[in-house]
Chain A
Amino acid sequence: MTEADGGGSPAAAVTAPGAPAPEPVADERLANIGLPARLMRRPEVGSLLGALVICAFFWITTDVFGTLDGIANWTDVASTLGIMAVAVALLMIGGEFDLSAGVMTGTTGLLMGLLTTEWGLSMWPAILLTFLFAAGVGFVNGYMVVKTKLPSFIVTLATFFVLQGVNLGVTKAITGTVRVAGLGDVPGYDSASGLFSSTFWAPHNFRISVVWWIAIAALATWVLARTRAGNWIFAVGGDANASRNVGVPVARVKIALFMTTAIAAALVGIMIALRLSSVQAGQGVGEEFTYIIAAVVGGCLLTGGYGSAIGASLGALIVGMAFIGIQFSGWNTDWRFLFLGVILLLAVLVNNLVRHRAEGARR
């Protein structure tokens, strides 16, 4: 070892004589990445591209898709879906699933309906109790997952079936039919529906749920990007043991995420119940997969630790645009699910492709 070699890289020391001297390598973690590459590495880029393509397609091929009335239609479909997709995305980033999220929208709507129409509560106390109930169910979900260490897939599947049975059984036992109706006559309905299910900007009538959706997506994005809780969510989803070792309260974060998802489901359940002034016992069953699909299209990894709230919102937007766009196009609806499936698959593939290209330099 000569003095001159002291500061050189180890690579230089073993270079065979005669070979061109390698460029000095900076620490890869500090490397400057160009703006395009950085943008391409965002989880939501694939869904953004997908959303733009689908939007442009229907905008050009149909007359009303691009009108304000048409936009009000598809943002309506996307909004309640989007609220759930954002909550489910947070949960998925935290490394867990909630298969009971769909049926929870029905359970909470039915609970609110029964509290008001059968047990004489006025709307606002019923809404408060519904949120508390949802938080309780979310807590139970989270607690069971954390304590039993069983996959959340199984635990929440059990919750899903329990709630589905309760929804039908309780509704029929109490009302004698399979739905709770007559919410419109409950005191406080007008103010509650003003907040949760009204429309704005007449005559186009955008749904107020769109505002809720945007606000919730913005809040979730802020939490993920700027707060300690957001760091914890990424950490527990990336590696629960490692994050526990550095002092992240893993159990608390996961339980909180399950509660968030359940509370979001309650919000959506209340919105739908107030909008339709009735709730069917089968409400929300099967929707949980749409939420997960929206989150995955939006760049969430099924393995956790990666994803974004904006991406999930874009995923929901894609589903909403396709749903209404197909209707406007007047295509034979026998093909709707095939079309939806292909759109979703393409969006996920584009997502993957773009990210691999962008990350190519790193490997």
Chain B
Amino acid sequence: MNTTTHPVSPEDIMAFLDTETFGKEALRVEKHMRQCPACTALAAQLRDTSYRLSEWSVPPMPRQVEDAVLAAAASAAGPGNTRKARRSTPLTIWNWRLWAVGGSGAAVAILAVVAVGITLERYRRVAEISPAPMISETNASARSGGAAQMESVPAPPATSQLAPPIASMIARTVSLGIVVRDYAPARSALDAILARHHGYAASLTLNTPENDARTFSASLRVPAAELDAALRELRQLGRVQSETQSGEEVTQQHADLDARLHNARETEARLLAILQQRTGKVDEVLDVEEKISEVRGEIETMEAEQQELEHHVAFASIDLQLTEEYRAQLGGRTQPVSTRMHNAFVAGLRHASATLLSLVLFFEEFGPAILIWLAIAAVPVWFLWRRYRRALLRA
């Protein structure tokens, strides 16, 4: 049967029998069927197939299933339940809840990333001594008169005057973190404390970030005998945030150094005696003088080392960190929006390129290994997938 001899297709006849054709189309098929025995026979075959198919019956639904469903329906029905459920419309792209939840989630994620970034950046800036906008003051510059603030810091007293013979030598180190209300009065008080206790500042670092609290880091040296008194006063500068104390026993180290120094001095004395009492060739005299020079150098190095050690013992070290309580201010000096946008754009590009580079490096480093593992895993995965597909087709 084809459409050249039959104006209607077999599928049209089937659709007519299934009441899927209407109007003129249905009339056309019906008219043709009345005239065409082949199409009438086809219709009879289709009816017969449907009749045979109807032999396939199924038993009625068990009573317990009906009861279970109707019981669930009875408990689910009710104005409250259905109204409550009706409010939850399907999640489409135009659903405001989707945007609200998604937007809130994205905002929280961005805020978390920014907060973590700012915190890390702050710690990084405090830890480092960066040129801008940091003001760095060092003891050396204070001694040369470069920074006015350091002029008030007293110079370290001579070690020999303050270091009596010590039976047990301990170098004490204290780390102190204090939050102060205002930086300026705290700084003045710190200078006064140092002056009172004959201490000095080995290094000072002031960090004044924009739109953030100022932080001040100082490495202080205070005579060991006055350490406790100085600490008491320092703690009164503000709220103590952290404090750690440690002591390093250097008695043995000092004794070793002392012994080595004694031996070196004796060696030097013997060499000098040889030089004065014995006569010989010029080369031999020069060798002895060279040896004396070497020993002298060693003695001076060890003496310096010994002094440094004694200084460490005589002067306790205080690593002080003052953090000013931050009070946000409206207005103030802020960068123009265009500049900030430009900077953000540049930073964004930099981060994007860094991310891409990281990805490339990752695949360069691990790509071959990943490919090998994928190749190894592919065989069993393919086998299992094929088994699963076959089982699915059977089901």
Q: Do A and B bind each other?
A: no
Seen from chain A, the residues whose Cβ lies within 8 Å of a Cβ on chain B are: none
